[in-house]
Structure 1
Amino acid sequence: MAFVVAVFLLLVVSPACLFAATPSSHSQDKTPLYLDPNAPLQQRVDDLVGRMTLEEKVSQMQNEAPAIPRLHVPSYDWWNEGLHGMARSGYATVFPQAIGLAATWDTSLIERIGDVVSTEARAKYNEAQREGNHSIFYGLTIWSPNINIDRDPRWGRGQETYGEDPFLTGQIGSAFVRGLQGDNPKYLKTVATAKHFAVHSGPESERHSFDAVISPHDLEDTYLPAFRELVTQAHADSVMCAYNAVDGAPACANTMLLQQKLKHDWGFSGFVVSDCAAISDVSIGHKYAPDLEHAAAVSVKAGTDLSCGKEYAALVGAVQHHLIAESDINAAVRRLFTARFRLGMFDPVAAVPFNQIPFSQNDSPQHGQLSLEAARASMVLLKDEHEALPLHSGLKSIAVIGPNADTLPALEGNYNGVASHPVTPLEALQKQMPGHVRYAQGSPYVDGASLPVPETLLPHGLRGEYFSGTDFKGAPVMTRIDRRIDFDWNGASPAPGVSAKAFAVRWTGMITAPAPGTLDMGFAFAHCSTCEDAETIKVWLDGKQVYDFSHAATHGRRAPTTPFQLVFADTNPHRLRIEYTHQAPHFGAGLTLNWKPPIDVLRQQAVAAADQSDAVLLFLGLSPELEGEEMPIAVTGFRGGDRTSIELPDAQQQLVSAIAATGKPIVIVLMNGSAIALGDSAKKAAAILEAWYPGEAGGTAIAETLFGENNPSGRLPITFYASTAQLPQFDDYSMSGRTYRHFSGEPLYGFGYGLSYTRFGYSAGKLSASTVRAGQPLNVQVEVKNEGDRDGAETVEAYLIPKHTEGAPLRELVGFQKVQLCRGESKTVQMTLTPRELSLVAEDGTRSVQQGEYELYVGGGQPEKSSGVMMRFRVQGHFDLQP
């Protein structure tokens, strides 16, 4: 009870009154120095840390840091997610997945998005503080962005990154960090965390023991530049170290990475946090230390200040056994509390401007509009044969077909917030052409994988009755018709007036099988990595109970539901009842009714829909249920969250072939987090639109783009290879043959590629000098004109082409700008290339501007003979750059 009172007082009483009520045993001062908001920051930090016992200091070095009531330190959980919207803490604005944000090539837009994410983080934090909620996912230390280089499209977490290019990743990532951290001279709005440092991009199944052996050249040229940019230019206040080892030393105990590169070379003064349970991997996975005490000690001495997990509890014993000095503990804790002081956590509430952000700012309509703007900007038009797009207004009917036409995960991606008003492509197109849309699911993602039961099996929807409490007593708080069961309520209430912590839902209605026989069914919960919930699911068919599942409250991952079967003798409607209860202290839930559909029957339904329509929209691709972080997936083409093949799965290719045989024009819309090799399917489509996992408003953005209300301006941040055969071995971290910078083959679609509904021309290319002295900047300008009949945005891309250095990239992005042009309008675009952007990396990892001949190409994509302008210049002399 004393602890509760202390925490409550901390929220509503000034620090001076707090101290007066509970004198410190460390000092006889009425107000301790650390609670004086006018005292120098480092003195305040030193004063607070100096009052702590060893056990108290160690307790603060774990993500779930407990309160220290005698020092007025409230409990705090450092683990918070905000990759493309605040995640796992209830409703929030859900932006396109990170790979889609990168496809915008728009740093000003990304900074605005980062600002919104931090605003919603503060809104949630402020409300949580008022409620005395100090739990995980309601804090201000955001473990984003993920700036690992997506070197291989088989990696399941590539969707969380900004693509394959170090320069683009550094620029987009820095903009996001600036938005997250704000520009207040005294206070951080939130803390951004650049992750995973370093050389981390799969395989997921081996990440806890894998050693990435790389050359000094590749380390400096590819894997470190984006981290350096975020640390030295955007001043990210936190870095997360990776699971894997680099050149024999685990990343979280790697002195080369953490001491030499991060702290010495780049001057990083923030804190380093481990990936979750990565300290255990130091001893268990990598065998780098004999036990947890040694693993914790070596990690702290290398520079890892905070463990995600409880491993650092072993530091007390490590100090007692002289494995580490208490002074090393002190230094780490000082860095952690410097961040908390800079966030304003020990200052009067009124003194911190961000404390005034109201909860109404969370998931606001204005933020929803920004999500729609981002989704529009992320659309990449890959093919448009004979101007198949935009769809013409004379269409009388369209068939909407495919596994991604109407699923929630394909909107939200992973590491996502909960969308309060998600719009799927089917819903948006039904609104666009009411009464003229024929829908068929058409195909699973891949044979053997489940996907949500479509509305076609539930012809009139299901009557959902929502109750507060888990006993179904009394009248429901709300009743509505749900088209299907595919919900994400993680940390959120399922309906207005219903408790997020304890609720029940009863769905009743009719289900119609697509053909007589047995249907394999199952349920999937919304993602929850730290659940303490209890859930039950019961199913009745025609009044007979056919399924009964219960999961007792535990800490950690939920137990998976068991599959079940529904047997149908006919295709008549049958009565269906589903009852679901959920109870948890902080987290909401979410439920999806899945099935493994009969592929042939689905394909026949799709062909029938196509036959009766003027045009076909095929929503194909992948799902965050198949590609992602360390997942228990093992079906053809997918393993452990990664892919073993980048080809479009056979089931979807067969669907494309069947629809093509109808002779109806086909538009493919891809929704996915990584590149897909389309094979013959690309040839069978008149147009192809890449939409990624586009966020809460993704369906609307897709429909607007298909019908020409949005002119697509996105560009690929990754290479779409023609086949898996073009890729090196997945676990080979050498960059030879990888990404557009070192790949000499012919891709399906190249990095930086994207079409528009208008045309852009380039002329009047000019350099500030034909010979530039090494170490000096180079200015470039070019005239860009919208030569088409529609307004549009062009992404102007600048590529440096070294002509003389062995091992240098074939071409390298060194600048880009997004330019809005009305039809017929021209603009002069100017860029200044710094010595670092003109530099190359030698075999030994040193970076310098090197004498020789160069070409600079500026256009709407990679160097081509048919568009853009090519300029030549010479560098005179030699100039070494700092690491």
Structure 2
Amino acid sequence: MRDRTKAQAAAKALVAQMTIEERASQLKYDAPAIDRLGIPAYNWWNEALHGVARAGTATMFPQPVAMASMFDEDIMKKIGDAVATEARAKYNEAVKHGDHDIYKGLTFWSPNINLFRDPRWGRGQETYSEDPYLTARLGVSYIKGLQGDGEYLKVAACAKHFAVHSGPEALRHEFDAEVSEKDLWETYLPAFEVAVKEGEVESVMGAYNRTLGEPCCGSELLMKKILRGKWGFEGHYVSDCWAISDFHNHHHITATAPESAALAIKMGCDVNCGVTYLYLLRALEDGLITEEDITAATERVFTTRFLLGEFDENCAYNAIPYETVECAEHLALSEEAARKSVVLLKNDGILPLNLENLRTIGVIGPNADDRMSLIGNYHGTASRYITVLEGIQDYVGDKARVLYSEGSHLYRDRVEGLGLPNDRIAEAQTVAEHSDVVVLVVGLNENLEGEEMHESNAGGSGDKLDLLLPEPQRRLMEAVAETGKPVILINMTGSAMDLRFADQHFSAVVQGWYPGARGGKAIAELLFGKYSPSGKLPVTFYNSADDLPDFTDYAMENRTYRYFKGDVLYPFGYGLTYGKVEVPDATLREDGDRFIITATVTNSGRATDEILEVYIRDNESKFAVRNHSLCGFTHISIGENETKTAEIMVPKTALEIVDDHGERRVDSHCFTLFVGISQPDEKSCALLGTKPAEIELDI
């Protein structure tokens, strides 16, 4: 395993040879070379949320919210390892060619483990879930995959954005996220705590906003008391990009750039993504900081560089060849992830399609043949893309005719600038009328939901104003429905949408997410039954944004499945298969610091993979969450008409509540555990036609 003490000693010795000017220069994201000490230039800014991003060709995996639908820690770790392998391969060649540019390094600002608390947040697609437990488990798995278990870090992962950060994008530079102690410790911090303590993540990135009055890149509470104090974090801290300049420009916590630089570095922010640390020496001259403040930060960043083996020419990772980039193994893994991430939301029996009974298939919609609908944001470049249209064409071959119409623009009222509004509607209806079945592919892309400053979305903020698809697509859905032909809707978005019209009018509804470069192949294979879907929703699909609190309200009341009071369209944890899986019985036994649940699982339908989910409800404590909480999950493969058993691990910490002071403890003697293929809520049980087994636990 890696020896941090040794790396710290090496960093201390190297930094001691630097002048104070050289030390300060190393704290910018684009750190210059120090030739006299043999230190090459290094750029700390690299991205890898679902594959090596913005650095040319790499395997492009599904977007994180899609991967979360797999509810699979093992494959998340494998994906992290594959991404790290390609990162090393690309880094090795870049260094060989003297290329130290942005996005070419080994410190990756991934994963994003913020809570997806509101479906309007454009960057929610980068995250894993609205649930802290699922987010924590998948985040740790990805971190471990990225960082590896060798003598050196394979790459350095970064847990972001610390903390209490999830929009609105338009306000992030000035916003103060106010939360209760209970919500802070029950919802917003658990994934970060697990990333630090269990995942041993090497880096943490601070958010743009303030939390409880303090800017997140200069917060005594978050950075000193919690992260480095209570949790014992020893890695380096990096600001979000230009977040430190927000201190004086927008938050008005400080008055000048030197004051902002001083506050950030004194609170423990080591790397500045931005330019404010150009004022570190001015802050030193003004007596706002000491040389020791700069030295401590420099030692921490060089500890990371030593842990990466940057200064060891015999580092084993130096031998990783370029041929691993987009290799057959990684492409197969990406396709597996795409298959496991697709969620079947409605099926009246039309799926899987029987190709022998079809002569003509109509494929309609602005996302049917659009590469952008595959990739999401923070993406790399693939050498080949397979859209839904191409996936269907490839699968069908010459066994059926495939007709295609774009149907509408993604968000404008016409496709052709000189055309009249709805200029592709007639063609779409024609295609539908001439087809035996219609596959209608709608949704968004990173220009309509994502980070701030996208001009094509509402207000350029990156967020959605509501949960509706753009008006031209709604008109298209209505027009296709009017033809009376059976329709399968594929929704390709990175967030929950209002799909009530589709649920009411179409034969099947599929959440395709942004499934990766070759995701269209996976979706086509699902439609024709080459595999059974097994994905589950990692977020709640509400009926409308009108059912939610204000976007700027960070209180968890009436948010996410744990607290929501009303009816929803599709619940968290829900997803259909082509099987008919039930859990008629489950038992529990203690095993040290965990419980082991043994579930009896039956399948009266076709063979399928299925996700078993365990939820816990505290029956006594006034501090318990309103509904219930996910506390365990596992995968099972089960054949047609098969009965088998499966074991699911549940940590005993699942018994704990968080009180109004943010303290965590067991506060009850009576609990109910629900073991099944969904939540125990009425809507999930009605949609699936089965209820979870119940275990009463008295302690």
The alignment's TM-score, normalised by the length of structure 2, stands at 0.96
User: Counterpart of 1:799?
Assistant: 615
- Whether the aligned pair in 2 keeps the contact of 1:170 and 1:225 (CA below 8 Å) is yes
Change (3 A) 1:90 1:598: farther
Aligned residues: 687
Is 2:641 aligned against 1:829? no
Is 2:421 aligned against 1:421? no
- Whether the aligned pair in 2 keeps the contact of 1:647 and 1:679 (CA below 8 Å) is no
- Whether the aligned pair in 2 keeps the contact of 1:379 and 1:702 (CA below 8 Å) is yes
Q: Secondary structure at the match of 1:701?
A: helix
Q: Secondary structure at the match of 2:635?
A: strand
- Whether the aligned pair in 2 keeps the contact of 1:270 and 1:335 (CA below 8 Å) is yes
Task: Measure the CA separation in 1 of the matches of 2:525 and 2:349.
Answer: 20
Task: Measure the CA separation in 1 of the matches of 2:254 and 2:197.
Answer: 32
Task: Measure the CA separation in 2 of the matches of 1:855 and 1:242.
Answer: 37
In structure 2, list runs of 5 or more residues that go unmatched.
Answer: none
Is 2:352 aligned against 1:395? no
User: Counterpart of 2:171?
Assistant: 206
User: Counterpart of 1:264?
Assistant: 229
User: Counterpart of 1:600?
Assistant: 422
User: Counterpart of 1:383?
Assistant: 346
User: Counterpart of 1:870?
Assistant: 694
Q: How far off is 1:792 after superposition?
A: 1.1
Q: Secondary structure at the match of 2:40?
A: coil
Q: CA RMSD in A?
A: 1.8
One-letter amino acid of the counterpart of residue 180, structure 1: L
User: Counterpart of 2:43?
Assistant: 77
- Whether the aligned pair in 1 keeps the contact of 2:121 and 2:168 (CA below 8 Å) is yes
- Per residue, is there more strand in 1 or in 2? 1
> Per-residue CA shift, 1:760-805, capped at 9, x if unaligned?
1213311227xx9xx96433221112221x2211100000111222
Is 2:627 aligned against 1:813? no
Q: Secondary structure at the match of 1:768?
A: strand
- Whether the aligned pair in 1 keeps the contact of 2:128 and 2:538 (CA below 8 Å) is yes
User: Counterpart of 2:451?
Assistant: 629
Q: How far off is 1:825 after superposition?
A: 3.1
One-letter amino acid of the counterpart of residue 269, structure 2: T
User: Counterpart of 1:18?
Assistant: none
User: Counterpart of 1:845?
Assistant: 662
- Whether the aligned pair in 1 keeps the contact of 2:422 and 2:472 (CA below 8 Å) is no
Q: Secondary structure at the match of 2:81?
A: helix
Q: Secondary structure at the match of 2:217?
A: helix
- Whether the aligned pair in 1 keeps the contact of 2:153 and 2:308 (CA below 8 Å) is yes
Task: Measure the CA separation in 2 of the matches of 1:806 and 1:247.
Answer: 25
Q: Which has the larger radius of gyration?
A: 1
Q: Secondary structure at the match of 2:157?
A: strand
In structure 1, list runs of 5 or more residues that go unmatched.
Answer: 1-36, 454-518, 521-566, 568-596, 876-883
User: Counterpart of 2:476?
Assistant: 655
Task: Measure the CA separation in 2 of the matches of 1:89 and 1:405.
Answer: 27
Task: Measure the CA separation in 2 of the matches of 1:838 and 1:376.
Answer: 34
> Per-residue CA shift, 1:497-520, capped at 9, x if unaligned?
xxxxxxxxxxxxxxxxxxxxxx43
| Displacement over 6 Å in runs of 4+ | none
User: Counterpart of 1:31?
Assistant: none
In the TM superposition, what are the counterparts of 1:45-84 in structure 2 within 5 Å? Answer: 45-84=11-50
Q: How far off is 1:835 after superposition?
A: 2.9
User: Counterpart of 2:671?
Assistant: 854
One-letter amino acid of the counterpart of residue 395, structure 1: L
- Per residue, is there more helix in 1 or in 2? 2
- Whether the aligned pair in 2 keeps the contact of 1:272 and 1:306 (CA below 8 Å) is yes
Task: Measure the CA separation in 2 of the matches of 1:608 and 1:829.
Answer: 50
Task: Measure the CA separation in 2 of the matches of 1:776 and 1:366.
Answer: 37
Q: Secondary structure at the match of 2:637?
A: strand
Q: Secondary structure at the match of 2:654?
A: coil
Change (3 A) 1:433 1:39: closer
User: Counterpart of 1:178?
Assistant: 144
User: Counterpart of 2:80?
Assistant: 114
Task: Measure the CA separation in 1 of the matches of 2:14 and 2:331.
Answer: 41
User: Counterpart of 2:541?
Assistant: 720
Q: How far off is 1:39 after superposition?
A: 10
Is 2:101 aligned against 1:135? yes
Is 2:346 aligned against 1:374? no
Q: How far off is 1:49 after superposition?
A: 0.6
- Whether the aligned pair in 2 keeps the contact of 1:797 and 1:817 (CA below 8 Å) is yes
- Whether the aligned pair in 2 keeps the contact of 1:389 and 1:687 (CA below 8 Å) is no
One-letter amino acid of the counterpart of residue 176, structure 1: Y
Q: How far off is 1:639 after superposition?
A: 4.7
User: Counterpart of 1:748?
Assistant: 569
Which of 605, 611, 616 is 2:433 aligned to?
611
Task: Measure the CA separation in 2 of the matches of 1:38 and 1:373.
Answer: 36
- Whether the aligned pair in 2 keeps the contact of 1:815 and 1:831 (CA below 8 Å) is yes
Change (3 A) 1:390 1:874: farther
Task: Measure the CA separation in 1 of the matches of 2:10 and 2:472.
Answer: 62
Q: Secondary structure at the match of 1:113?
A: helix
Q: How far off is 1:679 after superposition?
A: 2.4
The alignment's TM-score, normalised by the length of structure 1, stands at 0.76
User: Counterpart of 2:203?
Assistant: 238
Change (3 A) 1:404 1:638: farther
Change (3 A) 1:602 1:306: same
> Per-residue CA shift, 1:7-34, capped at 9, x if unaligned?
xxxxxxxxxxxxxxxxxxxxxxxxxxxx
Which of 104, 123, 135 is 1:169 aligned to?
135
Task: Measure the CA separation in 2 of the matches of 1:187 and 1:216.
Answer: 38
In the TM superposition, what are the counterparts of 1:124-523 in structure 2 within 5 Å? Answer: 124-184=90-150, 186-347=151-312, 349=313, 351-434=314-397, 436-447=401-412, 519-520=416-417
Q: How far off is 1:861 after superposition?
A: 0.6
Task: Measure the CA separation in 2 of the matches of 1:747 and 1:89.
Answer: 40
User: Counterpart of 2:596?
Assistant: 779
Q: How far off is 1:811 after superposition?
A: 0.7
